[in-house]
Amino acid sequence: MSGDRLILIVDDDPHIREVVRFALRGAGYRTEEAGDGRSALTLCEDLQPDLIVLDIMMPELDGIEVCRSIRAGSAVPIVFLSSRDEEVDRILGLELGGDDYLTKPFSPRELVARVKAVLRRGAASDNNGTPQRPATMERGILKLDLEGFRAFWGDREVALTVTEFGILRTLLRHPGKVFTRDALMSEAYLYDNIVTERTIDSHVRRVRRKFADAGGDPIETVHGLGYRIGECRRE
């Protein structure tokens, strides 16, 4: 239920915080607010929110630095807000571990839709009535704990964001299938018209970089087509 979900709103503009608060509370979410990056880090640690709406352009400690600090120890979903719509900002935000991106001015209704979509992607199982979905998925030494939202490469845990976990889960559900970027967007994102092919590539690069640190790579690139899950063996 949305009423059980806590959203942390981080923006130095009180008017923007008011607009976001009104939209999210109208949709049934609980909200807390921070007017600067340092306060946001403190509240994130104390409150453990279910999602953060994070402005990029803030004085002193901006949203990029806040995201870096949060991602050092948490995979909480992050939806970025920015007054600039430059592609470099979009890719930078996603490379750091953001799960979505909205440009100011934005529609409150669209913001709520994005928040709902990101939270759905983080659900441990689909709400489609399918009975007895497995609690874990495995291939080689890759293991996904769907209930705990955790990923492992052998005995090493790999911290993933909501979107990264969703992409890997989608690939793992169809071993051997080559996903075009469009198909991967459709299955892993739910709100699929908000992302681009470059967005998918950005997330895949992050997944690979994280697993490389653990000693492997679970994803294969099929040149000219897209991606599929690999054999997931030790290198």
Mean pLDDT by 10 residues, the chain (235 residues): 84 96 95 96 95 91 90 88 68 71 88 88 47 72 85 91 85 91 73 59 89 93 92 84
pLDDT value of residue 190: 47
Please tell me if the domain spanning 2-121 has the same topology as the one spanning 136-229. Answer: no
CA distances from 24 to 36, 115, 140, 155, 190 (A): 20, 9, 41, 39, 19
Q: Which pLDDT score, from 0 to 100, does residue 126 have?
A: 40
Rounded to 10 degrees, what is the CA torsion of 106, 109, 115, 120? -140
Ramachandran quadrant class, 14 (left: phi over 0; alpha: psi -120 to 50; beta: rest): alpha
Residues forming beta bridges with residue 101, ordered by sequence position = 80
Phi, psi of 206 (to 5 degrees): -65, -45
The residue type of 209 is R
Residue 93 is predicted with a pLDDT of 64
Write out the two tokens for 225: 């087509």
User: What pTM does this model have?
Assistant: 0.63
Which among 91, 167, 92 is positioned nearest to 122, based on CA atoms? 167
| Residue 193: predicted pLDDT | 44
SS3 (DSSP) at 105: coil
Give the class (CATH, top level) of 136-229: mainly alpha
Contacts (Cβ under 8 Å, ≥6 apart) of 219:
168, 171, 204, 207, 208, 227, 228, 229, 230
Residue of 138, 156, 155, 137 whose CA lies nearest to 146: 137
> Given this model, what pLDDT does residue 57 score?
87
Q: What pLDDT does residue 125 have?
A: 34
Q: Which class is domain 2-121?
A: alpha beta
pLDDT at 128 (0 to 100): 43
**Domain regions of the chain by residue span:** 2-121, 136-229
Closest CA to 191 of 110, 76, 105: 110
Query: Burial code of 1-25, b = ≥16 C-beta within 10 A, e = fewer?
Result: ebeebbbbbbbbbeebbebbbebbe
